[in-house]
Amino acid sequence: MIKMDDQELKKLTRQLIDGTLDTDQFIQKIKSLPFQDLGEVKLDTHRALRKGFAEIVYCPGKSDEQLENIARALANTKENVLFSRAAPHQYEVVLSILHDAYYHEKAKMIGIKRRETQTTVTGLTVVSAGSSDIPVAEEAAVTAEYMGCAPKRLYDIGIAGLHRLLAHIETLQSSLAIVAVAGMEGALPSVLAGLVSCPVIGVPTSTGYGANLSGVAPLLTMLNSCATGVSVVNIDNGLGAGYLAGRIVLQSTN
């Protein structure tokens, strides 16, 4: 698989023009851009070119054979790769083929760092209301890291002890984007959005007692925020929040 970015396409075009790559070879390389057909899996090899980051592989429900096929297809990629919601035994399957794979235990993510020049961009802050929300917060932080960000982590600073949040007000107010992860009643994003000028991405979690309704209660709280500048992703969707925050920070700094 070739590296899917603008520079590689420019390189291929120059090779075609100067004759070091013939027409058939050029066509064969371009053919691999849209996707690779692995039978039951269609791997989107064009996504890094379109969106700036490769397809993230969702592990639940995938067989070991499917993961093996995906790992083999990614063996020669020069892009950073993530597998989300991965169980430890699924990591072993991937590791048997991709020997540079790393398991982020808290985030339950498998990561492979392949970018030759890995620049990191600051400005993203990931906040969790409680320590029970850290796994979802880590999913957001790890996602952003593999995209090229260097997120700051501020964990267990929920509104039950507002002084804990206010102790980090300078960091929060200098952020370009904030991911706010909260269960229970889910008020943290609203409080943050009233204190900062940057976008706040709320992540409701399923942490809480009965009427939390497995995350529905904080989801509704965040959707009904009276503070402007709050967007909300699905329950426990740290990946979605980290990806969105990463795009905001990367585009604002480019």
On the question of pLDDT at 45 being above 80, the answer is no
Average pLDDT, the chain: 90
Q: What is the pTM of this model?
A: 0.83
* C-alpha–C-alpha distance, residues 139 and 128, integer Å: 12
pLDDT exceeds 50 at position 254:
yes
- CA of residue 73 relative to chain centroid, distance: 21
What residue ranges do the domains of the chain occupy? 6-24+34-112, 124-253
Find tokens 């096929």 and name the residue: 69
pLDDT at residue 5 is higher than 70: no
**C-beta of residue 32 within 8 angstroms of C-beta of residue 1:** yes
Query: Predicted confidence band at 46 (pLDDT cuts at 50, 70, 90)?
Result: low
- Residue 210 DSSP symbol: G
With a cut of 70, say whether residue 38 has pLDDT above it: no
In the structure, what pLDDT confidence band is assigned to residue 3 with cuts at 50, 70 and 90? very low
Q: Check residues 29 and 76 and name the one with the higher pLDDT.
A: 76
Q: With beta carbons less than 8 A apart as the criterion, state whether 36 and 1 touch.
A: yes
Distance of CA 243 to the CA centre of its chain: 4
Structurally, at CATH architecture level, domain 124-253 sits in: 3-Layer(aba) Sandwich (3.40)
206 SS3 class: coil
